[in-house]
Structure 1
Amino acid sequence: MTKKKTSLVVSADLSDLFSDASAEITVPERKINTDTYPIEKALKTIIRQLEAIGLRERTISDYKHHVSHFAEITGIEALEDITADHIYDWLASMNVSNQTKLTRLKCLKAFLGRCFDNGWIASKFWAQIRIKVDSPVKPGATERDIMLLLSLLDLSDFVQLRDATAVLLLYQTGIRISTLAQLESHHVDLETNTLRVDGGLLKNHEQIHLPFDDKLSRLLEALMRQNRIVRRENGAKNDFIFITRYGEKVTSSQSHNNIQKRLNKYSKEYGIKNLNPHALRRGFARRLLDKNANIALISKALGHSDIDVTSRYLHLDKEEVMNSLRQYL
């Protein structure tokens, strides 16, 4: 049996924590083909382009079906004859849900976009055509689910300690997973239980200070102590708070994050649905709202550019809005 590395066995006793219970660019002038370009010919050419780059058969089939249907309904034969009104007429002819219309519109827009790129259309006149679709309310992570997960993790194991710390930090501060991966020890103030994030790590480039509780403070302290052992054993030179068992950064690209993959694993293993970074961030916002924090404060904490973004982010249910408004009558 292979002996477990010393660095991966956490020395701190954390067993009691959860026992009760995320230069200026010049655009070159485009050369436009002013000759008549039939929709049918354009579709065949674009289909060949899609096949050449290996797009899946279903996507290619959608192009064929929806573009042909548009031409059939509107009676338009040449690309240069298409107007926004023709697209609206095409949409109005469908006896389907707005969600289905939106899907078909996206396909037509993609086709027209490729025609534009090929120089067959002079402007993107279709860009402002919109279809309003009610977005389903996306539930955030709940405190009960967070505490359940943390009670199931083995905090004496380095990787599980790291994951537990990440989950609680995401839930208590609402930071993005991309920000979490870049945090270093100097961002954490254990004396005041404050996460001090400089603007360089945030999407809106504004510095923010976020408080956290004593449980998270203990986890962070234990994790940072263990990190030093992991880095020493592996000869790693960094000061990131969240590292792999080999002392490396948890992200190797925008699409690869060790912690995010582990959250997916825990979600399936323990049957906890809302355990992804976005759900943890929504859970943070929802918790603030439930404690009567105003939307301006929540917006600031989330680092949103404006309150409208926060309003959409919270996805308030219609019935919930009605019941909340009723108290002001």
Structure 2
Amino acid sequence: MTKKSGVFDVDFDGLLPIETKKKNKKKDIESRTIDNALEIVIRQMIASGYRKRTTDDYRRIVSNFEKAQGIKYLSEITMETIYNWLDKMNVANQTKLTRLKSLKSFLSKCFNNGWYETKFWASINVKVDKKIKQGTKPSDIDLLLSLLDLKTFVGLRDATAILTMYKTGIRINTLGQLEEKHIDFNEGVLKLDGDVLKNHKYLKLPLDNQLLHLYKVLIQQNNKVRNYYHEDNSFIFISYKGKSLNTKSTNNAISKQLTKYSKKYGLKNINAHAIRRAYAKNLLKKGANLALISKALGHSNLEVTTQYLDLDVDEVAENLRNYL
């Protein structure tokens, strides 16, 4: 078969440059209002799985900044307006820092959307003298557990909750959302899906025989309570009337019980966050490395984990002595 000359030959000198319309970022931020940018950013956050409490904080803080400075457009957000906003706040530096972080995070999302050319806000900071937050002493946890009456529903529930936080390090709001489906009795682990964790990532945490036994007893008691009050749920920690414990709140019934026990028995540092720190410290003392502790706590980075493990001067001296 003879190839027909010229039919498949292409006179080609290369692609012509494709003309693209360059976006004028300066013009964009001059015409884009802060309210418009905020609504877009919040929709993006919701689509990415951010919790409502987080988006509500963004809306409140950015709107407060906008109103306090009397500005309307993105172009009006400058280092000067940010510093002026901070200077006018009659609050502690730690509160200023928290609000600043939210504003900077919002601005970074604006940068990612192409509305700013530089992150001019990156160098703005608030100096805070960080106090070392102590973890609960193991001896105080032992004492509290010895004072609880495990033959009562509330005593059994609270003791199981305290041990769950101390032996797994989960947050108080995750504790309130635990269901029977999260406990694998055969494997001896908590299987936590992203819906109940702050970082939305799946996590498995080991359980010892003591906790597994307590869960079995508590679940049996829960069923009796729910049946009596005609409640239908599968939560591990419920109220004495069989209802959920305001599942996603950090100030649920368990948290309130810890405050009550702290006052009643004169125990210092008995709260959910301190117990979580005690869990981290306990892992460190047993030889766990920082990366493993960070993963167990569900932290987004190691910097947060190191704050959990801050040692006071006596602990530093004691630990350094081991290297002499």
Match among 262, 269, 272 for residue 277 of structure 1: 272
- Percent identity of equivalent pairs: 48
TM-score (norm 2): 0.63
AA aligned to 2:243 is E
Matches within 5 A, 1:106-117: none
Paired residue for 1:172? 167
- Pick 1 or 2: higher relative contact order, CA cutoff 8 A, min separation 6: 1
Match of 1:304 in 2: 299
2:218 match? 223
**Contact 1:84/1:126 (<8 A) preserved:** no
Mapping for residues 142-291 of structure 1, pairs under 5 Å: 142-251=137-246, 254=249, 256-291=251-286
Shift in alpha-carbon separation, 1:328–1:244, aligned structure 2, 3 A: same
Shift in Å, 1:206: 1.9
Q: Using a 3 Å threshold, how does the CA distance of structure 1 residues 127 and 308 change in structure 2: closer, same or farther? A: closer
Write the distance in 2 (CA, Å) between the matches of 1:243 and 1:101: 37
Aligned partners of 1:143, 1:31: CA distance in 2, in Å?
Answer: 49
Q: How does 1:96-135 map to 2 (within 5 A)?
A: 102=93, 128-135=123-130
| Residue in structure 1 matched with residue 41 of structure 2 by the alignment | none
Contact 1:185 1:239 in 2 (8 A): yes
User: Cα offset for 1:245?
Assistant: 1.0
Give the superposition deviation at 1:154.
0.7
For residues 229 and 86 of structure 1, the distance between their equivalents in structure 2, rounded to whole angstroms, comes to 57
For 1:202 and 1:130, locate their aligned partners in 2 and report how far apart those are by CA, in whole Å.
29
* CA spacing shift, 1:252–1:182, aligned 2, 3 Å: closer
Residue 132 of structure 1: how far off its partner (Å): 3.0
SS in 2 for 1:181: helix
Q: Which structure's CA Rg is the greater one? A: 2
Q: Contact conserved, 2:166 with 2:279, CA < 8 A, in 1?
A: yes
Q: Which runs of 5+ in 2 are unaligned?
A: 1-28, 36-75, 105-118
Q: CA deviation at 1:275?
A: 1.2
Q: How many residues align?
A: 241
Shift of the 228–206 alpha-carbon distance from structure 1 to 2, 3 Å rule, reads same
Which stretch of structure 1 is more off in the superposition, 210-219 or 249-258? 249-258
Rounded to whole Å, the distance in 1 between the matches of 2:222 and 2:132 is: 39
SS in structure 2 opposite 1:196? strand
Letter in 2 for 1:30: T
Counterparts of 2:95 and 2:273, CA distance in 1: 27
CA distance in 2, matches of 1:150, 1:319: 27
* RMSD of Structure 2 on Structure 1 (CA): 4.0
Q: How far apart in 1 are the matches of 2:237 and 2:208? A: 19
Tell whether the 8 Å contact from 2:134 to 2:274 is kept in structure 1 after alignment.
yes
Q: SS of the counterpart of 2:191?
A: strand
Runs (5+) with no aligned partner, structure 1:
1-26, 33-79, 92-99, 114-123
Q: Distance in 1 between matches of 2:273 and 2:95?
A: 27
Give the match's secondary structure for 2:236. Answer: coil
Pick closer, same or farther for the CA change 1:191–1:142 going to 2, 3 Å.
farther
CA 1:30–1:151: 2 relative to 1, 3 Å: same
8 Å contact from structure 1 (residues 227, 241) kept in 2: yes
Amino acid at match of 2:231: A
Identify if the C-alpha distance between structure 1 residues 142 and 323 changes in structure 2 by more than 3 Å, giving closer, same or farther. Answer: closer
**What's the offset of the Cα at 1:321?**
4.9
CA distance in 1 between partners of 2:322 and 2:127 (Å): 29
Q: For the Cα contact (< 8 Å) 2:172–2:250, is it kept in 1?
A: no
The structure-2 alpha-carbon separation of the partners of 1:253 and 1:328, relative to structure 1 and needing over 3 Å to count, comes to: closer
Code of the residue aligned with 1:137 in structure 2: it is I
Q: Secondary structure at the match of 1:210?
A: strand
What is the CA–CA distance in structure 2 between the aligned matches of 1:248 and 1:29, rounded to whole Å?
Answer: 47
Partner Cα separation in structure 1 for residue 150 and residue 250 of structure 2: 27
